[in-house]
Chains A and B, each alone.
Chain A
C-alpha cells in the first residue's frame, strides 16, 4: 500500500517535471523571440509591419490647359484598358474563346487569329495588345455591351486634347500616360503642370480591413497647375480651318501664321503646317513651331521697319523721286523684283506701293546711312530673341554692317529673323510706338492653394518710334492695299481698313550658293494690321513654296488665310474686348449693387452713371428711401436701378420700358401692375408726373418691337408724304 503510494508519487513528480520542462522550453522560446525578435534570420517586427500596413500611391492630376475663355485645350481624363481573365477556376473567365475573339477583335484593332491564340494561353489573365489600351468611355461601353464574360477593364489616366489639331505646336504633347512631355508648353511648363503624387499608408487587420486612425500616414497629392493661354478659340479655329484649306489646295512646304493683340502683345492664334494631332503623336512629321523657331529671310515685309526708321529720322520724303530698276553698291547690283526693269522715275511713295527694292536700299544707304539703319534694327530688337514664353525660340542673324548688307537687309534679304520677331516689331507700328512683348501664357492657377500662381501683364519691350511716326507709317502702309499701284490689293477686306506689307522672299539654296529660282520657289508672306487708325489685331502669314496655278500669284494662298482670320478676329474683338476692361459689371454674373438708402439722390445718381448703370429716380426728394434691386443683387452693364426718394411718388414716363422693368417699379412702389400684350410699353394708365397712391393699379399696354418698327416706318412714310405735299 505504502509502496504503491510511493510509486504514484514518483510518477506524478516525473510528470510534473516533464511538464515543467516542456513549459520552460516554450516560455524560453517565447522570451527568446520577444527579446531577439528574429526567427530563422527573419526580422519579425518588419514582417509584421509589412503585413498589417499597406501603402498606396495617390495620384495627383496633371494641370489642364485652357484657352483665354476657359475652354479646355488639354486635360487629363480617365481611359480604360481591357484585359481578359482566362483561369477556369475564376468565376467570370473567358468561356468561348472563338466567339470572344470574333466579337472583340474589331474593337481593339487586332487580328482574330492572334486574339484566339492570346486567349488560349495557359495563364491567369492576359493583356490584349496596344489597341486595347487607352479606350474612351464610349468605346469601353461598346465593348461592355457585347456582354463577353471574362473581359474586364481597369482605369488609367490619359492626356487628351479635345480640339485635336488645334494650336498643336503651342500646346505640344505628352505621351499618353503623361510620363514624358514633348515640345510646346507641355514640355516648357512641365514642372508647373506635373502633379506631385501623394501616398497613404495605414494598418489593417487580419482580414485586410483598414484600421482607420491607427498610425495613418497620409501625404496629400498635389495637382498640377492649370494654365490659361491667351489663345482665342474663335480666332484659332478660323486660322486652323483657313490653313488646312490652303494646305490642301496649294501643298506648300510649310505655312506659319501668328495672330496677336496689337495693344497687349497677347498671342490670340498661332499655327503651322505641317501640323499634327497631339492625340495621335505617333504620326508627327514636323516638330518645329515655325512661328518662333524658324529663321527666315522675311522679304519685303521688312520694308515696313525701314520705312518707319526713315520717317522717325525725318529723312523720308514721299514725293521725292528716284530712278527705279537697278542700284549699284560697290561692285554688286541689286534690282527690283520685276527682273530689275523697274518703273522708271517714280516717287518713294510709289516705290513703297510697288515694293521697290531700289527705293529701300537707297533709303537705308543714302538717307538713313547704315549706322542709323542698324541702330533701328536694334531698337526694333531684331538682334535678340523676343523672350516669348514658349520653348525653343530661335535667334536671328543680322549680317555685318557693310553697305551691301545694309542694302539687302533693308528689303528683307540676307539677314534672318523669326516670324515672332516681325510680329513684335509690328506692334510698335500698330501700338503708337510702344512695342509689346508677345506672350501666350495668360495665367496659372494652383488648385491646391486656390490661388493664381502667375498672372501675365502686358510688357512694353521698347519704344523704337514715336506715336506720330507710327501713325504716318500706318497711313502709308494702307496705300499698299488701297493705293493705285499697291501690291497688297488682294488683302483688301470690305468694311475694314487694313494696313500692311506684302513680302516675297527668296530662299537661300540649301545645296550651294545663291537663291532658289523659279516662280514658286519663294516664301510669300503678309504682315498686316487693322483697323488703320487704331489697330487691334496684327496678323502675320507666311506660305513657303506653294504650288501656284498659272493664273494665281503668291498672294492668293496668303490672302486666303489672312483675310478670313483678320475679319473674324476683328468682328469678334470688337464685341468682346470691352468686356474685359470693365470687370464684373460686364460678366454674366454681374456686379453686386450697394446699399443706397438714406444717401443723397444726386450723389448716388452720378456714381451709378459712372459705373454704367441707369438710375431711375422716382419723385423729387433729395434723400433715397428705397431702392430696387436691393443691395447685393447682381447687375450687369446698363441695368436700370430704381431709386425712390423722400419726395412725392411721381409716375415716370415708362414708354419704351420692358415689362420686367415696369414690374420692378411696381414692386418698389408696392402697387399692383397689370399688363396687356408683350414687348415694350406704349401706353400707361397713370400719366407721367402724376402722383401714385398706395393702392393704385398700374396698367400698361405693350407692343412687340416688330410692330413698333412697322408703325414707326408708317409714320415716317406719312411724314414724308406730308412733307412732299407741303413742298
Chain B
C-alpha cells in the first residue's frame, strides 16, 4: 500500500547532509576527549604524581609519630589511591595508647593521620622508671619512661599487680578535677594490709583513703579540703564519712604542762 505521507528523499538531502556532518564531528570530539582523558588518567597513575609525598601525624603527644606511620603501613612513595584506610586505621588502633584515629587524603600528595591518645591517669614508679597507666586501665609495662610530665600523679609502692589494677580502675572513675589534685600516691605494706592508700595532694594536704570505692570517697574532696587548713599537721581520712586526724595534740599537751 502506498503511503501518502512519504516525502521524496531528494527534498531532504541538504538538511540531512549537514546534520550528518555535525553528528560525525561531535562524535569525533567526544572520542578524542575520552581518549586523552584516558591517557591522562594512566599517566597520573603511572607517574610519581599520584604517589604519597608527605605523611603528617597530629595529636601524638606520647607516641612517636614515626611509630604511628610505621604501624599504619602507609609509606611514602605508595600510591595515594592504593592505601587501605580501614586497614591502616585498624593497625594504628592496635597501639595501646591510641584511643581514636582518623585518616584523610589531602590532594595532591599528603596523608593526614589524626590520632587521639588515651589520657594517662598515673605513672607507676618502678625502680626509678615510670610505667604509664592509661585512662582505660591499660598498664604500659613495656613502655616505661625515665622522665615524666605533669599529666598524671605518681604511684609509689604498687608492686602488687592486682592492687594496682583495682586502684587504677578506681582512679579512672574519679573526676578529672580531683585527679588533677593528686600529686603522689603511696602504698606501704601496712597500708596494703588495711586496703588503704596514702596520698599527697598538690595543696599540701595528706589524705588516707581506701582502695575499694576510692573514687566515691574522694569525690567529695574539694568541699572537704576547703574546711581544712593545709598548714595544720594531720591526715585527712577520706572514707565513708570523712574526718581529719590532727597531730597537734602533743603540742597542746605541752602547752598545758607549761
With A660-B182, A663-B148, A678-B154 given, is the CB distance from A637 to B222 under 8 Å? yes
Give the chain B neighbours of A661 by CB distance below 8 A: 150, 183, 202
Instruction: Kindly state whether residue A571 has any CB partner on chain B within 8 Å.
Output: yes
Instruction: Assess whether B177 is in contact with A588, with CB atoms less than 8 Å apart.
Output: yes
Assess the B203–A587 pair: CB atoms within 8 A: no
Chain A residues contacting B223 (CB-CB under 8 Å) are 575-580, 582, 586, 637
Q: A634, B180: Cβ atoms under 8 Å?
A: yes
| A664 interface residue per 8 A CB criterion | yes
Residue contacts A-B, CB under 8 angstroms, 17 given = A571-B241, A571-B243, A575-B223, A575-B227, A578-B227, A580-B223, A582-B223, A586-B223, A634-B180, A636-B178, A636-B181, A638-B222, A658-B183, A658-B202, A659-B183, A660-B182, A663-B148
| Bound form: Cα–Cα A572–B156 in Å | 31
Is A9 an interface residue when CB atoms closer than 8 A count as contact?
Answer: no
Contact of B200 among A637, A663, A680 (CB under 8 A): A680
Is A634 a contact of B184 with CB atoms below 8 Å? no
A99 within 8 A of partner (CB):
no
Contacting residues of chain B (178-211) with chain A, CB-CB under 8 angstroms: 178, 180-184, 186, 200-204, 206
User: Does the CB pair B177–A635 fall under 8 Å?
Assistant: yes
Which A residues lie within 8 Å of B218 (CB)? Answer: 588
Q: How far is the CB of B205 from chain A (nearest CB, A)?
A: 9
B156 contact from A589, A663, A678, A716, Cβ within 8 A: A678
Asked if A659 meets B204 with Cβ closer than 8 Å, knowing A589-B177, A590-B178, A709-B247, the reply is no
Closest 4 pairs between A and B when the two form their complex, measured CB to CB: A590-B177, A579-B223, A588-B175, A658-B183
Q: Is A391 an interface residue (CB 8 A)?
A: no
Any B CB within 8 A of the CB of A639:
yes
Bound CA–CA A589/B224 (angstroms): 15
Beta-carbon contact of B220 and A588 below 8 Å:
yes
How far is B177's CA from A637's CA once the two chains are assembled, in angstroms? 9
A129 CB–B CB distance under 8 Å: no
Q: Which of A572, A587, A660, A672 contacts B222 (CB 8 A)?
A: A587
Query: How far apart are the CA atoms of A660 and B224 in the complex, in Å?
Result: 21
For A705, what are the chain B residues with a Cβ–Cβ distance below 8 Å? Answer: 200, 206
The complex places the Cα of A640 from the Cα of B251 at a distance, in Å, of 31
Which B residue's beta carbon lies closest to that of A712? B233
Residues of chain B at interface, number, CB under 8 A: 42
- Asked if A486 lies at the interface with its beta carbon under 8 angstroms from chain B, I say no
**Cβ A637 vs Cβ B150 within 8 A:** no
Sample of 9 further A-B pairs with CB below 8 A, known A579-B220, A634-B176, A661-B202: A575-B227, A579-B224, A588-B175, A590-B175, A635-B177, A636-B177, A637-B226, A659-B184, A660-B150
Q: Which residues of A contact B242 (CB under 8 A)?
A: 575
Query: Judging by beta carbons under 8 Å apart, are A678 and B200 in contact?
Result: yes
CA gap between A680 and B227 in the complex, in Å = 21
B139 interface residue per 8 A CB criterion = no
Which residues on the A side are within 8 Å of B76 (C-beta)?
Answer: none
Do A591 and B177 touch (CB < 8 A)? yes
Q: Is the CB of A639 within 8 A of B202?
A: yes
Interface string of A648-685 (1 = CB under 8 A from B): 00000000111111011011000010100011100000
Known: A659-B154, A660-B150, A679-B184. A588 touches B219 (CB 8 A): yes
Q: Mark A567-602, 1 if CB is under 8 A from B, else 0.
A: 010011011111110100111111100000000000
A residues 172-208 in Cβ contact with B at 8 Å: none
Cβ contacts under 8 Å, B219 to chain A: 587-588
Closest to B184 in A: A678
A636 touches which of B180, B215, B233, B240 (Cβ 8 Å): B180
Contact with B along A678-720 (1 / 0, CB 8 A): 1110000000000000000000000001000100100010000
The interface bits of chain B over 212-248 (1 if a CB of A lies within 8 angstroms of the residue's CB, else 0) are 0001001111111111000001000000111100010
Q: Give the residue of B174, B186, B204, B221 whose beta carbon is less than 8 angstroms from that of A658.
A: B204
Q: Is B23 an interface residue (CB 8 A)?
A: no
Q: Once bound together, how far apart are the Cα atoms of A716 and B251, in whole Å? A: 10
Q: Which of B150, B156, B224 has a CB less than 8 Å from the CB of A575? A: B224
Min CB–CB distance B258 → chain A (angstroms): 10
A662 nearest in chain B by CB position: B150
Contact pattern, A 74-103, Cβ under 8 Å of B = 1, otherwise 0: 000000000000000000000000000000
CB pair B183–A660 under 8 Å, yes or no, is yes
B contact residues around A657 at 8 Å (CB): 202
The answer to whether B132 has its CB under 8 Å from any CB of chain A is no
Whether a CB of chain A sits under 8 angstroms from the CB of B153 is: yes
How far apart sit A640 and B150, CA to CA, in the bound complex (Å)? 13
Q: Is A341 an interface residue (CB 8 A)?
A: no
Residues of B within 8 A of A631 (CB): none
In the assembled complex, the Cα of A657 lies from the Cα of B203 at a distance in Å of 8
Q: Are B149 and A663 in contact (CB under 8 A)?
A: yes
Q: Which residue of B lies closest to A663 (CB)?
A: B150
Whether B233 and A709, one on each chain, are in contact in the complex, defined by CB atoms closer than 8 angstroms, is: yes
Task: Tell me whether A615 is interfacial, beta carbon within 8 Å.
Answer: no
Q: Please, which residues of chain A bring their CB within 8 A of the CB of B178?
A: 588, 590, 636
Please, which residues of chain B bring their CB within 8 A of the CB of A585? 222
- Please report the C-alpha to C-alpha distance between residue A634 and residue B241 in the assembled complex, in whole angstroms: 25
B147: which A residues are within 8 A, CB to CB?
672, 674
Find A667's partner among B150, B222, B240 (CB 8 Å cutoff). Answer: B150
- Contact between B222 and A588, CB atoms less than 8 A apart: yes
Checking A638, A664, A680 against B225 with a beta-carbon cut-off of 8 angstroms, the contacting residue is: A638
A629 within 8 A of B: yes
Tell whether A590 pairs with B176 under 8 Å between CB atoms, given A571-B241, A709-B247.
Answer: yes
Check B154–A639 contact: CB distance below 8 A: no
The B-contacting residues of A in range 91-149, CB under 8 angstroms, are: none
CA distance A661 to B202 in the complex (A): 7
A612 in contact (CB, < 8 A): yes
Smallest CB–CB gap between A563 and chain B, Å? Answer: 16
Chain A 439-463 against B: per-residue CB contact (8 Å), 1 yes, 0 no?
0000000000000000000000000
Give the chain B neighbours of A656 by CB distance below 8 A: 204
CB distance from B89 to the nearest CB of A (A): 27
CA distance A590 to B218 in the complex (A): 13
User: Please, which residues of chain A bring their CB within 8 A of the CB of B202?
Assistant: 639-640, 657-658, 660-661
Q: Is A333's CB within 8 Å of the partner chain B?
A: no
Interface contact A658-B226, CB-CB below 8 Å: no
- The answer for the CA separation of A716 and B233 in the assembled complex, in Å, is 14
Least Cβ–Cβ distance between A657 and chain B, in angstroms: 8
